Structure 1
Amino acid sequence: MRKLVNQFFVWLCVFFFSSVAYASNNPLPVKFGDPYVLLASDGRYYMYGTGAGAVDGFCAYSSPDLVNWKAEGQVFRGNIPGSWGVANFWAPEVYELNGKFYMLYSADWKVNPTNEQENFRIGVAVADKPTGPFRELSSEPLFDPGYPVIDGNLVVDEKGRMFLYYSRCCYKHPVESEIAAQAKKEGKFDSIEESWIYGIEVKPDLTDVIGEPVLLLRPPVKLNDKQSEWESRSVTSGEVNRRWTEGPFTFRKGDTYYMMYSANFFGGKNYAVGYATSKNPLGPFTKAANNPVLEKNVEKGGIVTGTGHNSITWSKDGKQMYCVYHGRTQATGDERVVFIDKMGVDKNGILYVEGPTTAK
């Protein structure tokens, strides 16, 4: 009996102190952009992201508790004979399906007859283990919508259908709006390019898409739109002539789909996260009144800027949600590093993130 009591006490201490350490552990010693965390069936967490020294591909980290992370090395490499992707490997997400692990990722497509500067598409790789090695499912991207796309994300509806969300790049996509007109009037920029988020159904084996893409989210058109101020900061500050709507991460709670997304220049201090909701996986989505739910805190005495491109993971008992995202601090400079903060959805359906936090 004493042994069982001692074991329970040890478990309780580990749980308590892990929670405390976790809350004061930001930023993590992981130099990822676009971080994604999978809680696999083996009971461990696996993190994937952009950068961290990977060559034409992606590295991974593993953890038993979201606090202590072990480098697993490079788990996927493209730009090899037979690859469709040749450069700029970004934003991996990994899903455990039917005993396999499927990675969605963005890269420059080698088929580029007009020599476009941005020729991104989304592809799929598969592995038997979360640490790879991942091999390309096809010698071609998942689909070609006719414009550059990045940041693939999957959700499954209540009927078991699978949907892909992605961001159309800003590249060669100038959009008229009151914000663009104001920027031109003020002499900031002659035109404003935008990225938009689309959704499309995909086959269960991730070999093809079904139907046509549906536009789900875009930056505000009107100056008096309540979302306009925070989603236009990169333009109104004169930083760059682009407005982003990218990095979608979607989950279902009850009968509602929550899509988190990032806005503003991904390389700047104004990068921030909002969300929108819908009763249908292909919309229409309505942006939340409490946006942004995650943003820089330097004006409030903090040290974090550039918070964005998040994913979500859960505690092992499924009770606590965590927001995983990248950001920058005064100490890390331009280097993107990973943060993990608690988040949730309250009884009124309002999504919130308890961050950004940093170690004291």
Structure 2
Amino acid sequence: MIKKILFVLIIATAFTSCKAQEPAYLFTYFKGNGEDGLHLAYSTDALNWKSLNNDKSILTPEVGEQKLMRDPAVILGGDGNYHMVWTTGWTERGIGYASSEDLVNWSEQQLIPVMQHEETARNCWAPEITYDAKNDQYMIYWATTIPGLFPETQSKADDGYNHRMYYTLTKDFKDFTKAKVLYDPDFNSIDATIQWDGEQYVMFLKDETREPARKNLKVAFSENLTGPYSEASEPITGNYWAEGPTALNVNGKWIVYFDKYTDHQYGAVMSEDLKNWTDISDKITFPDGIRHGTAIQVSTAELKQIQEVLVID
């Protein structure tokens, strides 16, 4: 009997330990025009997402002329802290930055003047951040239009915006390298996000071409974080306008979430090989009114701590 009890206890302990190691997921997003700040949602299956804090903002934007917090992108850095960048306004030449140990309490916000040296730069949109473990540094990247550049893809549509992806490098978020072009895919492009798949860097980005309208997501690859990146793939999204991709690798399958912004709903596609994609939009649920941000994996313990602080909707 004692041996049987011990066996049951051992199995129960192992099961509990296994369950504790199962991943959970957080989604950082904005609502409206980004005026009220950072929102969080969570998921335990990467498909069904529920808001935290009663879908109220947990961080109010404080930097930039327009003081918005659109496109909040968050990663876990090499220092064990979370680092976030965001769009501070529609026509600004800088981006917002803050860090956090727990995704609830954030550092003082700062404005990084990434394109201040380009007097004609029209914007800095949808910044993202990736940690480069090999060089122990961070790459921040975003879309900017500089009038007169890339005339081969210039159009009067979409108010004449003609974006390319730019980047800067930093080790301490105090000193930054001068911005350079990260990727010129020979089309108007925004909303890039980069993941490491174990062998190469994978860039998901939006083809922003308006004439003729494309407005879809594509994929490019590189051996190095700063490029060069391959020619962009054929569209991985369907007959709708998509933007703001963010990706998770869940049990060996890639899920790319995106904003079907003209349909006012969220979508997703899935792939095992980053070549063949299946639309799984009918299998996901998100909070009402969500606008794009970042999906990240956290531990169940981290999620529990956040839930203890923030009210679950």
TM-score over 0.5 (shorter chain): yes
Matched, 1:76 2:56: no
In structure 1, the partner of 2:270 is 342
Matched, 1:198 2:166: yes
1:92 matched residue in structure 2: 72
The Cα offsets for residues 112-152 of structure 1, whole Å up to 9 and x where unpaired, read as xxxxx71252121123322x2434343x3253443321222
2:221 is aligned to 277
Give the superposition deviation at 1:42: 8.8
Secondary structure of the 2:226 match is coil
CA deviation after TM superposition for structure 1 residue 61, in Å: 0.8
Q: CA–CA distance in 2 between the matches of 1:67 and 1:88?
A: 28
Which residue among 125, 139, 159 is the counterpart of 1:163? 139
Question: Offset at 1:247?
Answer: 0.6
Q: Which residue of 2 aligns with 1:320?
A: 253
Q: Post-superposition shift, 1:256? A: 2.3
Structure 1 contact 78–85 (Cα < 8 Å) conserved: no
User: Could you tell me which of 227, 237, 246 is aligned with 1:294?
Assistant: 237
1:171 CA drift (Å)? 6.5
**SS of 1:154's equivalent?**
strand
Structure 2 match to 1:127: 100
Higher relative contact order (CA 8 A, sep 6+): 2
Q: Distance in 2 between matches of 1:192 and 1:54?
A: 23
Contact persistence 1:214–1:282 (CA under 8 A): no
State the 1:275 CA deviation: 1.9
Tell me the distance in 1 between the aligned counterparts of 2:136 and 2:224.
Answer: 13
Q: Does the residue aligned with 1:57 lie in a helix, a strand or coil?
A: coil
Alpha-carbon separation, structure 2, partners of 1:68 and 1:258: 25
TM-score between the two structures when normalised by the length of structure 1: 0.61
Segments of 5+ residues of structure 1 without an aligned counterpart are 12-40, 109-116, 221-230, 232-243, 297-304, 329-333
- Unaligned runs of 5+ residues in structure 2 are 285-313
- The answer to whether the Cα contact below 8 Å between 1:174 and 1:193 also exists between their aligned partners in 2 is no
2:169 counterpart letter in structure 1: E
Residue pair 2:64, 2:94 contacting (<8 A) in 1 also: no
**Match for 1:150 among 125, 128, 149?**
125
Q: Paired residue for 1:213?
A: 179
Q: Percent identity?
A: 14
Residue 91 of structure 1 deviates from its aligned partner by 0.8
Alignment of 1:244-255 (within 5 A): 244-255=188-199
Q: How many correspondences in the alignment?
A: 262
Whether the 8 Å CA contact 1:294–1:356 is kept in 2: the answer is: no
Q: CA RMSD in A?
A: 3.7
Offset, 1:306: 1.2
CA gap of 1:57–1:208, structure 2 versus 1, over 3 A, is farther
User: Is the 2:189–2:206 Cα contact (8 Å) retained in structure 1?
Assistant: yes
Structure 1 pair 136–272 and aligned structure 2 pair: CA distance change class (3 A) = farther
Change (3 A) 1:247 1:48: same
Instruction: State the distance in 2 between where 1:352 and 1:58 align.
Output: 33
- What per-residue deviation string (whole Å, max 9, x for no partner) do you get for residues 277-299 of structure 1? 222222222214x4222232xxx
Q: Residue 56 of structure 1 contacts residue 87 of structure 1 at CA under 8 Å; is this kept in 2?
A: no
| 1:358 match: secondary structure | helix
Which structure features the higher share of strand residues? 1
Alpha-carbon distance in structure 2 between the residues aligned to 1:194 and 1:321: 29
TM-score (normalizing by structure 2): 0.69
2-structure distance, mates of 1:336, 1:208: 39
Alignment of 1:346-357 (within 5 A): 346=273, 351-355=275-279, 357=281
Per-residue Cα deviation, 1:234-260 (whole angstroms, up to 9, x for no partner): xxxxxxxxxx31111112234422211
Verify the 8 A CA contact 1:176 1:192 in the aligned structure 2.
no
Amino acid at match of 1:106: T
Change in Cα spacing, 1:356 to 1:273, as seen in structure 2 (3 Å) is farther
Distance in 2 (CA, whole Å) between partners of 1:163 and 1:149 is 15
Cα 1:163/1:55, change in 2 over 3 Å: closer
Secondary structure of 1:312's partner? strand
Q: Map 1:4-83 onto structure 2 (within 5 A).
A: 43-51=23-31, 55-72=35-52, 73-79=56-62, 83=63
- Deviation of residue 54 (structure 1)? 5.5
Relative to 1, partners in 2 of residues 1:136 and 1:247: Cα closer, same or farther, differing over 3 Å? Answer: farther
**Corresponding residue number in structure 1 for 2:82:** 101
Q: Please, which of 305, 311, 314 is the counterpart of residue 246 of structure 2?
A: 311
Contact residue 61 and residue 68 of structure 2 kept, 8 A? no
- In structure 2, the residue corresponding to 1:74 is in which secondary structure? coil
Q: Distance in 1 between matches of 2:48 and 2:32?
A: 17
CA distance in structure 1 between the aligned counterparts of 2:247 and 2:191, rounded to whole angstroms = 12
Look up the match of 1:24: none
Q: Take 1:291 and 1:173, find their aligned partners in 2: how far apart are those partners?
A: 27
Q: Distance in 1 between matches of 2:224 and 2:185?
A: 20
- Local SS of the residue matching 1:47: strand
- In 2, distance between residues paired with 1:137 and 1:88? 12
Q: CA deviation at 1:192?
A: 5.0
